[in-house]
Structures are given as structure tokens and as C-alpha cells.
């Protein structure tokens, strides 16, 4: 009798199949979308799923991944992307046909288009296809052809995840009907700092790139500095604009007040010690740095990029100012710095707003949208 039970048990194990999920994106270099994908992939691997990540543009992997995750490289980095289109479509088709995933999740517009074109119609009927829009579709350079293809092909997906309500509204109604808005999962690793123990520091965390428009912030600070010469500005991040920004700082004679420390580990703890966080970008999808600062109880000022109004309730936990408006940014900075009572109240309100996008809550929203309607 023991052997009979053992046989039945082994047969049951043999028939158990793991749920299979495949993530498609360009590469796993540092970026907001890549960070979110790594979090989701790791979570699914921890939950016992068979997880693959397929990279089409770059072999870079700069986020830690669960050891059970399979990395599939479909990138030919030495060839121009236009010559890779047939290669990608053919390999996506073969991969999906062979692996037969239960769920396919794709990140970023052009990758989404390739995935939808690459999966055969009869294969798509056997799986769930979920897309994620990761940027401001008006500003990310996708072009007219990609925009047209997205409008035509996106309705073929089972679900489309947008970061912001602004991004969702950009698309035609047939796309919006498949859409859901979910904030990025933000994990807070730093300790909250008591309001009275915070530094006289204005802080920004972003890649030193033209689109992040640090020149706007530096020029605004030059105005603020005249009234608050004891305050410092810290701009964390690295990128191609470093030399130009350093030259502007020197020209404004602010070398002793504005600092570019580069990328640092534990930057959240530096944010937690600051008085005000500023996002000065020309466009964003949804800024993780802005969400993290708000969740650390730091009053935030942001240019009117996509997602700013999802995190900041103007006048309640911070301010939203017009893009490229130096005077407006300087005015709001002075407004916040000049009133400890207002800044303290905003800091408290930040924590209240952050409850709407707590890590566990957003992860559940993502998983629910990925797995079911």
C-alpha cells in the first residue's frame, strides 16, 4: 500500500507545471522601467514561477536578479536597429512558439510593438499579453510611425499598464479601454529623519542629461541663494551634462553652494536629510525619485511633467510649476524655505499622500493586472 501512495504522489508531482511568464524589454541598464521590471520578475521568481527576461537592445544587466530567472539575449548591439527588425520578429515568434508562456509582459513602446507583431495570432490566443507604457508619449521621440502602430496594435493586448492618468489620456479610447493606471512600486530603505534634524539642503536626484534640465534648477537656486546663502544644493546623478553644469555653476560663482557628487549608494538617506526635493525635468514618465522623496516626508517641487500631479497636490505636499520657468521655481522654493510651519505641514502631508502608492499595494495592483482582467 505504501508503494501505491508513493506512486500516486510522484505522478502528481510529475504533472505539476510551473506557471510561465516572459518579460520583454530593451535592456536592464539603470532606469525607472528597468527597475520596475526587475522588481516584478524577482517577485514572480520568488513565487515559484518560471521567469524569463528577453532583452532586445542591450545585454547590460545592472539590477540584481533572482538566480532562477533566465536571461535571453536577442540583441545585436553592433548592428543598426533598423537592420534588426526582421531578426527580432523572427526570434520573438520562435521563442514564444517554443516556450509557450502563460503570460507575456512587454515594457516600452517600440518593444511593445515588436512583441505584438512578433507573436502569431494563434499563439496570442493561448496566452495573456500585457503591455507597459513607461514614458510621456508626447516627448519620448517615438515618432509618427511608432505612435500610429501603437494606436493600431495596442488594442490586441489584454491589458495596458500606464504610469499616469495623463499618459493614458493621450491614447484613443479603444486603447484606454484596455488600460489601467498604476504607480511605480517604491521601496523605502532609508530611515525617516525628524523635521528639526534635517539639513538646510535642496536636493535633486536624476541623470545629468539635458532632458532633466538641471540648468533650470541651478539658475533658480542662484536667485534663492541671494536670500538663503546658508543653504546648499545637492544634485545626485551622473551623465553627459556634467561639464556643462559645472561650467554654469562656476559662472554663477556658486561652486561652494552647489555640488555634483555623482551616483552614490544609499542616496535615499541623503534625500531624507534634506529640506526640499526638486524635480526640474522637461518630461518624465513617472519619476521614482519624486515618489521616494515624497514618501520620505520631503516637501517636493516639480515642473509640470506627466505624473507630477499624481504625486503632488499643489499647495498641500508641494508645488507644481511650469516647465522652463526659472522665476516660478525660484518663487516656490523661497515660499517653502521661508515658512518652517508650512514646510512642516507639507512634510506631514507627504506621508499621507505616499500611502496611496505603498510598495505592497502597487505590487499587488501590478500582479492583479498582469494575471487577470
Question: What are 203-253's pLDDT values in tens digits?
Answer: 999 999 999 999 999 999 999 999 999 999 999 999 999 999 999 999 999
Question: Nearest 5°: phi and psi at 14?
Answer: -65, -30
Grid cell for residue 354: 505616499
**Nearest-10 crossing angle of helices 340-354, 288-295:** 110
Which set of grid coordinates corresponds to residue 224?
Answer: 534663492
d(CA 132, CA 241): 29
Q: What is the Cβ-side half-sphere exposure of residue 75, based on CA atoms within 13 angstroms?
A: 20
pLDDT for residue 285: 84
Which element (helix H / strand E) includes 54? Answer: strand 50-55
The DSSP output letter for 230 is T
Q: Is it true that domain 195-356 has CATH number 3.40.190.80?
A: no
> What span, in angstroms and rounded, lies between the C-alpha atoms of 290 and 298?
9
The fold of the 18-181 domain, in CATH, is Rossmann fold (3.40.50)
pLDDT for position 131: 98
Q: Concatenate the DSSP letters of all residues of 60-105 into one string.
A: -B-S---TTPEEEE---TTS-GGGGHHHHHHHHHHHHHHH--SEEE
One fold for 18-181 and 195-356: yes
Question: Nearest-CA neighbor of 115 among 180, 25, 36?
Answer: 25
Residue 185 C-alpha cell reads as 512600486
Centroid of chain to Cα 327:
29
d(CA 185, CA 206): 18
In the chain, what are the domain boundaries? 18-181, 195-356
- Is there a contact between 51 and 68 (Cβ–Cβ < 8 Å)? yes
- The cell numbers describing 369, all together, are 493586472
293 near 277, Cβ under 8 Å? yes
At 339, give phi and psi (nearest 5°). -135, 100
Q: Provide the pLDDT for residue 1.
A: 54
Strand 318-321, strand 300-303: pairing: parallel
Copy the grid coordinates of residue 215: 540648468
243: phi then psi, degrees, rounded to nearest 5? -65, -40
Written as one string, the DSSP assignment of 252-301 is: TT-TTTEEEEES-TTHHHHHHT-SEEEE--S--S--HHHHHHHHTT--EE
Per the listing, cell 536577442 goes with 74
Type and span of the H or E element at 25: strand 20-25
Instruction: Give the whole-angstrom CA distance, residue 169 versus residue 348.
Output: 31
DSSP code for 189: -
If you ran DSSP here, which 8-state letter would residue 20 be given?
Answer: E
Predicted pLDDT of residue 143: 87
Mean pLDDT by 10 residues, the chain (373 residues): 48 58 94 90 97 96 95 90 90 96 97 96 93 88 91 97 92 96 90 95 96 97 97 96 98 98 94 98 92 97 93 97 98 97 97 92 96 88
Q: What is the pLDDT of residue 4?
A: 46
Amino acid at each position: 500500500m505504501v508503494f501505491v501512495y508513493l506512486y500516486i504522489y510522484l505522478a502528481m508531482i510529475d504533472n505539476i507545471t510551473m506557471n510561465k511568464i516572459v518579460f520583454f524589454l530593451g535592456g536592464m541598464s539603470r532606469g525607472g522601467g528597468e527597475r520596475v521590471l526587475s522588481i516584478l520578475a524577482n517577485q514572480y521568481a520568488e513565487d515559484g514561477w518560471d521567469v524569463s527576461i528577453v532583452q532586445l537592445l542591450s545585454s547590460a544587466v545592472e539590477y540584481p536578479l533572482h538566480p532562477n530567472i533566465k536571461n535571453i539575449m536577442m540583441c545585436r548591439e553592433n548592428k543598426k536597429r533598423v537592420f534588426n527588425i526582421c531578426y527580432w520578429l523572427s526570434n520573438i515568434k520562435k521563442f514564444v512558439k517554443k516556450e509557450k508562456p502563460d503570460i507575456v509582459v512587454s515594457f516600452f513602446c517600440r518593444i511593445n510593438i515588436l512583441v505584438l507583431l512578433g507573436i502569431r495570432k494563434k499563439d496570442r490566443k493561448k496566452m495573456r499579453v500585457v503591455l507597459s507604457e513607461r514614458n510621456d508619449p508626447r516627448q519620448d521621440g517615438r515618432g509618427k510611425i511608432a505612435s500610429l502602430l501603437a494606436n493600431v496594435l495596442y488594442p490586441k493586448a489584454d491589458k495596458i499598464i500606464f504610469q499616469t492618468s495623463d499618459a493614458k489620456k493621450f491614447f484613443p479610447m479603444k486603447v484606454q479601454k484596455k488600460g489601467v493606471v498604476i504607480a511605480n512600486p517604491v521601496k523605502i530603505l532609508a530611515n525617516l529623519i525628524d523635521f528639526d534634524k534635517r539639513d538646510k539642503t535642496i536636493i535633486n536626484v536624476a541623470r545629468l542629461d539635458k532632458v532633466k534640465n538641471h540648468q533650470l534648477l541651478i539658475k533658480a537656486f542662484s536667485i534663492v541663494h541671494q536670500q538663503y546663502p546658508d543653504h546648499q544644493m545637492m544634485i545626485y546623478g551622473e551623465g553627459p551634462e556634467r561639464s556643462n553644469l559645472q561650467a554654469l555653476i562656476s559662472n554663477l560663482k556658486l561652486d561652494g553652494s552647489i555640488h555634483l557628487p555623482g551616483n552614490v549608494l544609499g542616496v535615499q538617506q541623503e534625500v531624507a536629510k534634506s529640506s526640499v526635493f526638486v524635480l526640474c525635468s522637461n518630461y518624465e514618465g513617472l519619476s521614482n525619485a519624486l515618489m521616494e522623496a515624497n514618501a520620505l516626508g520631503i516637501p517636493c517641487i516639480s515642473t509640470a511633467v506627466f505624473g507630477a500631479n499624481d504625486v503632488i497636490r499643489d499647495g498641500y505636499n508641494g508645488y507644481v510649476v511650469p516647465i522652463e520657468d526659472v522665476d516660478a521655481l525660484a518663487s516656490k522654493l523661497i515660499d517653502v524655505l521661508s515658512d518652517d510651519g508650512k514646510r512642516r505641514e507639507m512634510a506631514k502631508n507627504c506621508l499621507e499622500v505616499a500611502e496611496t502608492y505603498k510598495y505592497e499595494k502597487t505590487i499587488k495592483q501590478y500582479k492583479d493586472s498582469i494575471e487577470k482582467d
